[in-house]
Amino acid sequence: MLDLAFIREHPDLIKDVARRRNTAVDVDALLAIDADLRATRRSAEDLRAEQNRVNKAIREAGKDKAAREQAIARGRELAAELKELEPRERELDAQLHDLLLYVPNIPDASVPEGAGEDDNVEIKRVGEPRAFAFEPLDHVALMRGANMLDLERGVRVAGSRSYILKGDAVLLELALLQFAMNRVTARGFTALSVPAMAKEFCFIGNSQFPRGRDQTYALPEDELFLVGTAEVAITGMHSGEILREQDLPVKYVAWSPCFRREAGTYGKDTKGIMRVHQFEKVEQYIICRADHEESVQWHEDLLANAEELVQALELPYRVLNICTGDLGDAKVKGYDIECWIPSENRYRETHSDSYFHDYQARRADLRYRGVDGTVRYVHTLNNTALASVRTIIALVENHQQADGTIRVPDALRPYLGGRDTLGAPWR
RNA sequence: GGAGGGAUGGCAGAGUGGUCGAUUGCGGCGGUCUUGAAAACCGCUAGGCGAGAGCCUCGUGGGUUCGAAUCCCACUCCCUCCGCCA
């Protein structure tokens, strides 16, 4: 959410931003409602001010019965007028708030212009895609052969885009999660295990709602929703608080299951487990002071943390600077890390590193008191540390061996009981 | 699932229809004193809208009333007991 005063002063900028971001928002309607609300509120405030004066007069009238009766009569008139005005004031306020949720954030000047994902700009490439001395398999063939994946029965249990990991794949998943948790906590992040379901306000605060509502699983009986990322729960957990500047930055690394409906993606990534409804993720999250330079610094640091993990797993990857047309509404700027997937002969997204300035903080009402006493909205940032299935795909495909087994990168071996190979030879 | 109690500022905790946006304590900030610190003492210290006058906020939303932290209704959350249960 942007500051309403800023929108009032820069309507053309907002319209331009919405166009560049491919997002629809009716700025004129918003400003019309705002003007109407302010006029209505002004009238109501005048009435309330007089009401307060009349109430004081009633108190002070004491035994002067005539003055008291007269003031009460005026009070009755004011109450009647307010009864007309107040429902309208509430209605306009609600409408304004709803529209405000659709106004996107302002991208940083360093965000490339572009219509969609094809216009994202590659900013670095690390590691060489491996030259295989044998015909490499895709993750489905590989994991099936090694008895690590059962797609059919996963679908039987939970429908399309569901899967069952088996055998060494389960150990691999747990190892990866713990590997990520250990590496990031070693950098001073506090480990969290957060609820995988959350109330609506958390999703609004984080900006998943209202626009992404159809991508979220709902539990209507309980007015809860399944989170698509731990980010939702973390944004919600401090909602309404005023933190102390001395306690910033707050750095979390949270593990959670992630649930995604993937509505509207029917033809996409139908093979294997590239796009699934449920996976595990370790997420980095930072709450810091309202300072652009500091946000930028943490954004880079979060990227570096993620790169370090990917490098330790010996996966070739590249980093993209996400263009205006592909950047989520709430983000000021975002980098994606894409890991090399041999069977697709291309890089695929495994991490998403973003900063938001105070956009999420305003929605979630998350502020801090500076050492000088002033209260401001915090800045928030987050980046994936490790997402289970996509990392599993990249790892098994990149580290497959001629006999169908998977080589375990050195950094991961301590989390797999020292094993250097997963699966038994089968090719 | 059943019964009862509760929700007030950063925290604790008064306040049961008008002078209460709110007693007090703790914490925090500033000062006096001190070589420095502690202690003691003094002062300041909720948030939001508004250029300002002023307006709003005592869990949330309605209602009663000239007037609501206070009364009524609904909801949410927390606590205690019972039941069920990983």
Residue A105 within a domain: no
**Do A253 and A344 belong together in one domain?**
yes
Determine the nucleotide nearest to A222 by Cα–C1' distance.
Answer: B76
**Do A176 and A84 belong together in one domain?**
no
Interval A172-195: pLDDT, tens:
999 999 999 999 999 999 999 998
**Do A66 and A131 belong together in one domain?**
no
**Do A145 and A289 belong together in one domain?**
yes
- Which range of residues forms the domain containing residue A22? 4-100
Specify the DSSP element, H or E, that contains A44: helix A27-61
- CATH number for position A14: 1.10.287.40
- Which of the 235-294 residues on chain A come under 7 Å of nucleic strand B at their beta carbon? 242
Angstrom distance (rounded) from CA A325 to CA A159: 32
Token pair in block for residue A183: 């590496």
**Do A93 and A144 belong together in one domain?**
no
pLDDT of residue A266: 85
**Boundary-marking domain end, from A67, A100, A133:** A100
Omega of the bond prior to A249 within 30 degrees of 0, cis?
Answer: yes
User: Which spans in A116-261 are helix H?
Assistant: 139-145, 151-158, 168-185, 200-206, 230-237
Determine the nucleotide nearest to A242 by Cα–C1' distance.
Answer: B10
Residue pair A122/A319 in contact by the 8 Å Cβ criterion: yes
Residue pair A415/A175 in contact by the 8 Å Cβ criterion: yes
CA A93 to chain centre: 26
Determine the nucleotide nearest to A3 by Cα–C1' distance.
Answer: B49
**Do A95 and A126 belong together in one domain?**
no
pLDDT of residue A90: 86
- In this structure, is the CB of residue A48 within 7 Å of any atom belonging to strand B? yes
Q: How many Å from the CA of A200 to C1' of B78?
A: 20
**Do A187 and A93 belong together in one domain?**
no
Interval A273-311: pLDDT, tens:
999 999 999 999 999 999 999 999 999 999 999 999 999
Residue A108 within a domain: no
Instruction: Using CB atoms within 10 Å of the CB of residue A156, give its burial: 0 to 12 exposed, 13 to 18 middle, 19+ buried.
Output: exposed
Residues of A forming the active site: 260, 275, 349, 352, 390
- In this structure, is the CB of residue A92 within 7 Å of any atom belonging to strand B? no
- Total domains in chain A come to 2
**Do A192 and A162 belong together in one domain?**
yes
Position A263, amino acid: A
**Do A258 and A330 belong together in one domain?**
yes
Residue A346 within a domain: yes
Q: How many Å from the CA of A197 to C1' of B11?
A: 29
pLDDT of residue A347: 97
| Tens of pLDDT, residue by residue, chain A (427 residues) | 899 989 999 999 999 999 999 998 999 999 999 999 999 998 999 999 999 999 988 988 777 888 888 999 999 999 999 988 888 888 888 888 889 999 999 999 999 999 999 999 999 999 999 999 999 999 999 999 999 999 999 999 999 999 999 999 999 999 999 999 999 999 999 999 998 988 888 999 999 998 889 999 988 878 889 999 999 999 988 888 888 888 889 999 999 999 999 998 888 898 999 999 999 999 999 999 999 999 999 999 999 999 999 999 999 999 999 999 999 999 999 999 999 999 999 999 999 999 999 999 999 888 888 877 788 899 999 999 999 999 999 999 999 999 999 999 999 999 999 999 999 999 8
- In this structure, is the CB of residue A49 within 7 Å of any atom belonging to strand B? yes
ipTM of the complex: 0.84
